[in-house]
Amino acid sequence: MDTDALSTPFYDPASVAGKAPPIGESTDLLIVGAGPAGIAAALEAAGRAIRVTLVDENPVPIETMAEDVPLHFGSRMGAAAGNANAMLETMLEARPELGDALEAGIDVKLGTAVWGLFPHGPASAWIDTHVAGLADAEHTWLLQFRQVIVAAGRRDMGLAFDGWQRPGVMGASAAWRLAMLYGTLDARRAVLVGSDTDALNVAVDLMSRGVRIVAVIEQAGQIVGDAALAARLEASGARLLTRHVVRHAHGDAYGVRSITVTSIAAATPDGAPTTFGCDTVLLGIAALPSIELLEAAGCATAFDAARGGHVARVDAMQRTSLPFAYAAGDCAGVWAAKSRDEAIARDEGRRAALTALSTFKEAPSRADAPPARQPEAPAHDIARSRVDWVRASVVGAAGEPFVCQCEEVTAREILDVRPPRYLNWQPAGARHDTRGVAGLARSGPPNPDAVKRLTRACMGPCQGRRCREQVAALLAIGYGCALPQIPLATFRAPVRPLALGQLAAVAEAPATGAHWDSWFGMASQWVPFWRVDPFHRASTRQQGEPVASE
């Protein structure tokens, strides 16, 4: 027996203790998102004797857009989207305040995504500060920060129907960004699915860019958004159909050519089909706060109907439950008045900045902060509306469309909690031998995280951006509860898809990788892996030399 080993205090050389990665960049105030709220926050913080960094993932590379990240772009990017310089120029023209930020000495990083926020705490005690993970088209690195304002904007709820995987079916917010921010939306005739005020606003803006709205489809008994906006669309030639859903999107690999809609009235469940010629279907079911970064960092969240669904809990000064993190703009809540008036988002950005600045020396007075604007009560029950959309469109869809396109999971497979297809699972006998959603939940409503692990729904490259809310609605239907009772599926960093090569390029302490691969050719499970002969370690042999198993 090795008596020296017994007398030496135990030390695991593979531990990350004392091996913090080298962090070459740092800032005092990190602002994520260069929309109205983010730019306003940056300008408020400028000239305060602190370092301010403003990061925005736009212009998004066309390869990332093709994965429907960060929005559901539906392959409706025009040719200009492949020219990064042209996209950047158009973006700067659309947001001239970015020039003011640069002149104010703010470190502006465009085309750069924040893929994770890692606060100093029990789970990351090996880092002695707060760290953000950043990535552009070529590099990935870490940035140290003291305070962070997240103004990450919004995204769209997906909705499955036969043919919704075709190019041209896209989110309303994605269409707005392509048209209004990039000037590269490849659409001429569009059908809008959903009729809340946010969706109608998008449709009116798209008309100003030459897109003809041929129809508005709503499953409820009436148009639920602003009546004046609906009247403008109807006056322009759009048909307004209530108690209808899309049954089929016809077309080919190149895109949608037409859609068929039917009535969902109880008296005529199949309804008389109506066909519209179009090249684009705009999903305006719901605009959702983009809370991925905040939730993954540990912020407390809640379902708040007045703010558009699941949001981070914020106080009147935009503070979240984390003492160093603030939320502003659409990611702090989406409602009709804010969508119509950017001043509300800008005020939120200024409040967040003034609150964050109060933690630094020579802090400005928060007495000058603009008063908080509370959201108005929603015009309709958004939780019930989302479940009704899924029940009418997804559960009743023809052809069993994939709710999760990435992993090819249907609504029935989610409701039955069937194993993933790649396992080649077959039910025993004529009937399924599954517990289903109701059987899965023993102590309360089913958790989407459990369903994700069992079915792989939401585990694809888009990271659930197209199917997350549909899965939650299906669980509410299967369990028989209200949508807010379904827990929020958790987010994990990286919240943006990253190539393994990019992640591998992140700097690390030399000692971190000294033992990671010592499992190769391990002679015995009783030998501590840090004592394995160097011959068995891939890190200590030259390329082409054998390992023990060879």
Which CATH number do you get for residue 106? 3.50.50.60
Whether residue 303 sits in one domain with residue 447 = no
Query: Can you give the pLDDT at residue 269?
Result: 46
Whether residue 146 sits in one domain with residue 31 = yes
The phi-psi region of residue 271 (left if phi > 0; otherwise alpha if psi is between -120 and 50; otherwise beta) is left
What residues make up the domain containing 419? 380-480
Query: Can you give the pLDDT at residue 93?
Result: 93
Query: Can you give the pLDDT at residue 1?
Result: 44
Whether residue 364 sits in one domain with residue 439 = no
Find out whether 461 and 69 touch, Cβ atoms under 8 Å: yes
Whether residue 392 sits in one domain with residue 342 = no
Helical packing angle, 36-45 and 342-357, nearest 10°: 40
Whether residue 395 sits in one domain with residue 351 = no
Local confidence pLDDT in tens for the 550 residues of the chain: 444 544 455 566 767 677 778 888 999 999 999 999 999 999 999 998 899 999 999 999 999 999 999 999 999 999 999 998 999 999 999 999 999 999 999 999 999 999 999 998 766 666 778 999 999 988 899 999 999 999 999 999 999 999 999 999 999 999 999 999 999 999 999 999 999 999 999 999 999 999 999 999 999 999 999 999 999 999 999 999 999 999 999 999 999 999 999 998 744 445 579 999 999 999 999 999 999 999 999 999 999 999 999 999 999 999 999 999 999 999 999 999 999 999 999 999 999 999 999 999 877 776 678 888 889 888 899 999 999 999 999 998 888 899 999 999 999 999 988 888 878 776 655 455 556 777 776 667 889 999 999 999 999 999 999 999 999 999 999 999 999 999 999 999 999 988 888 888 888 887 777 766 554 555 555 566 566 555 545 555 444 544 444 4
Whether residue 42 sits in one domain with residue 149 = yes
Find out whether 247 and 397 touch, Cβ atoms under 8 Å: yes
Distance CA 69, CA 163 (A): 20
Query: Can you give the pLDDT at residue 186?
Result: 96
Question: Where does a domain end: 320, 346, 368?
Answer: 368
In a domain, 301, yes or no: yes
Question: CB atoms < 10 A from the CB of 169, how many?
Answer: 29
CA torsion sign, 300 to 197 to 67 to 437?
Answer: positive
- Which SS3 state, helix, strand or coil, does residue 381 take? coil
Whether residue 450 sits in one domain with residue 307 = no
Tokens of 29: 């105030």
Query: Can you give the pLDDT at residue 111?
Result: 95
- What sections of 121-196 are H helices per DSSP? 172-176
Distance CA 217, CA 224 (A): 11
In a domain, 16, yes or no: no
Whether residue 353 sits in one domain with residue 389 = no
Query: Can you give the pLDDT at residue 21?
Result: 80
Question: Where does a domain end: 340, 368, 396?
Answer: 368
CA 430 to chain centroid, in Å, comes to 39
Question: Where does a domain end: 462, 480, 498?
Answer: 480
Distance CA 259, CA 524 (A): 63
In a domain, 508, yes or no: no
- Cα angle, residue 486 at apex, residues 485 and 491 outer, rounded to 5°: 135
- Count of structural domains, the chain: 3
In a domain, 412, yes or no: yes
Whether residue 469 sits in one domain with residue 398 = yes
- What sections of 447-507 are H helices per DSSP? 448-455, 468-479, 500-504
Helical packing angle, 382-389 and 468-479, nearest 10°: 90
In a domain, 175, yes or no: no
Query: Can you give the pLDDT at residue 126?
Result: 64
Question: CB atoms < 10 A from the CB of 394, how many?
Answer: 24
Residues with Cβ within 8 Å of 253's Cβ and at least 6 positions away in sequence, in order, are 166, 167
In a domain, 540, yes or no: yes
Distance CA 155, CA 284 (A): 10
Whether residue 312 sits in one domain with residue 335 = yes
In a domain, 164, yes or no: no
Whether residue 390 sits in one domain with residue 295 = no
Whether residue 135 sits in one domain with residue 29 = yes
In a domain, 497, yes or no: no
